[in-house]
Amino acid sequence: MTVTQQGMVRVAESGSGPYSQIVTAGGHTLSADEPRELGGQGVGPSPYEYILAGLGACTAMTLRSYVIRHNWGVDQITIELQHERIAAADPSETVDKFRRVICLKGTISEAQRLKLLEIAERCPVSLTLRRASIIESRVTDSITSGPV
């Protein structure tokens, strides 16, 4: 197995189903797949579930960092997320809608809860999902271990 560079993710077909993938991120190996109802084998999270996982993890880490810095009494942070495509202003288009519910257990005031909601809105993955992106792609017949 090829080791990937920090910050680089490699995705390769696993051969165990039409959509089943092996994801290598840093030193971690994960699976990705579509659910059975979409023709996959369901052997791993779907691509959109990975987006939700990234958003949720980033939110929780950002909040925990803020809580530690301010020495607030938050014992546990849990994030639940959902994604759907909804109609845009132009009825021929859709937009992505992410729902995020943040559960904060501990002894904090309502003002602190509201501040943490504000901080969650500024987690790096939230900011990335809200702005336009550039995706550069190229096709090759071999992958190197160098930068993408």
Query: For residue 82, is it within any domain?
Result: yes
Query: For residue 111, is it within any domain?
Result: yes
**Cβ within 8 Å of residue 71, ≥6 positions away:** none
**CA separation for the pair 3, 26 (Å, rounded):** 7
Query: First vs last Cα of the chain: how many Å apart?
Result: 17
**Cβ within 8 Å of residue 36, ≥6 positions away:** 42
Q: Are 67 and 15 found together in one domain?
A: no
Query: For residue 138, is it within any domain?
Result: no
- The SS3 assignment for 85 reads strand
41-96 tens-digit pLDDT:
999 999 999 999 999 999 999 999 999 999 999 999 999 999 999 999 998 999 99
For the chain, how many structural domains are there in total?
A: 2
31-40 tens-digit pLDDT:
999 999 999 9
Q: Are 61 and 41 found together in one domain?
A: no
The domain containing residue 7 runs over which residues?
Answer: 1-45
